[in-house]
């Protein structure tokens, strides 16, 4: 459900804006018309949950919910990741590993510079099967540099499946995105994934991920963070962990990763939402409360 809502938020943003934070123009095609309309209806009807004092039409309610609650994280982290990926490819990365790929559409709208890399989508087999079925309905054939890897990140099969896959080369510098993962894994499981990644990629490889800070699930959390936790709980997708910067630095260091770039919500808003906000003063978007972005490189 969170993957569907994430795709919906990216689709809505792409359709309804000229100046975009991030343009996922394929997200709408990933969803059926019925799914898109159902999510839109459910969200707009829930405006009093998100904003008890809101007054306006259903369309205005949906716009408020998307801009304030649904899209900040999917848009911001995608923009950060693909900018970081482009730079990584420029300096030598040859493989892009998308962990818990969900309905990510990068491989299907990849720019010319990405044609030189191998792209691996790692996800649960049920999710991956559904994704591939949706893609077949909008594309005649998948890109030749795209590969699907079956992965359950609470088990250790994903590592074996990846290493055994013929197109994957452990000697090649890799860029790994782990977006939206840290929330739903225990600290031990997340640390184990980072450590496993470190063991199968060479020096100079990088990882990028978003994570909730140490106040995310406390009384100090912002209202949006509290709403997001409630939504995830209602979808039976409980959020399990949060991290301080020092704790994160230690976790990464234990697996030979050094933080290369780290952005707080205010920094994310300044770097990735400013231009959009200047063009849309009535519909501004700010980075999500208590969520930071991190790019780390293996030493």
Distance CA 240, CA 89 (A): 33
**pLDDT of res. 216:** 81
**pLDDT of res. 33:** 96
**pLDDT of res. 239:** 67
CA-wise closest residue to 146 among 179, 183, 181, 121? 121
pTM for the full predicted model: 0.93
The 8-class DSSP code of residue 239 comes to -
Q: Beta strands 291-298 and 206-212: pairing type?
A: antiparallel
Distance CA 14, CA 177 (A): 22
Distance CA 224, CA 69 (A): 6
Do 165 and 158 meet the contact criterion of CB atoms below 8 Å apart? no
**pLDDT of res. 236:** 66
pLDDT averaged per 10 residues in sequence order, the chain, 299 residues: 92 96 96 96 93 94 95 97 97 97 96 96 94 93 94 83 96 97 90 95 98 84 74 68 95 98 97 97 94 97
How many other C-beta atoms can be found within 10 angstroms of the C-beta atom of residue 191?
17
């Amino acid at each position: 459900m969170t993957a569907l809502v994430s795709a919906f938020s990216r689709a809505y943003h792409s359709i309804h804006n000229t100046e975009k934070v991030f343009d996922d123009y394929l997200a709408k095609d990933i969803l059926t018309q019925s799914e898109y309309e159902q999510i839109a209806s459910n969200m707009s009807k829930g405006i009093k949950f998100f904003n008890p004092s809101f007054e306006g039409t259903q369309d205005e309610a949906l716009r408020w919910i998307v801009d304030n609650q649904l899209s900040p994280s999917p848009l911001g982290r995608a923009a950060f990741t693909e900018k970081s990926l482009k730079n990584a490819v420029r300096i030598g990365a040859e493989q892009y590993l998308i962990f818990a790929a969900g309905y990510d559409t990068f491989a299907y709208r990849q720019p010319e510079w990405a044609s030189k890399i191998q792209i691996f989508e790692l996800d649960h087999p049920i999710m991956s099967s559904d994704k591939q079925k949706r893609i077949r309905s909008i594309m005649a054939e998948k890109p030749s540099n795209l590969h699907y890897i079956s992965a359950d990140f609470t088990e250790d099969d994903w590592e074996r499946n990846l290493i055994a896959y013929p197109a994957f080369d452990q000697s090649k510098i890799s860029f790994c995105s782990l977006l939206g993962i840290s929330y739903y894994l225990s600290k031990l499981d997340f640390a184990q994934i980072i450590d496993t990644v470190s063991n199968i990629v060479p020096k100079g490889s990088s990882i990028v991920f978003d994570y909730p800070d140490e106040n995310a699930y406390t009384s100090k959390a912002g209202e949006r963070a509290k709403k997001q936790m409630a939504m995830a709980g209602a979808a039976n997708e409980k959020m399990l962990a949060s991290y301080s910067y020092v704790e994160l630095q230690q976790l990464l260091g234990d697996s030979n990763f050094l933080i290369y770039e780290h952005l707080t919500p205010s920094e994310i808003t300044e770097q990735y939402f400013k231009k959009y906000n200047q063009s849309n003063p009535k519909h501004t978007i700010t980075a999500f409360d208590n969520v930071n972005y991190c790019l780390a490189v293996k030493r």
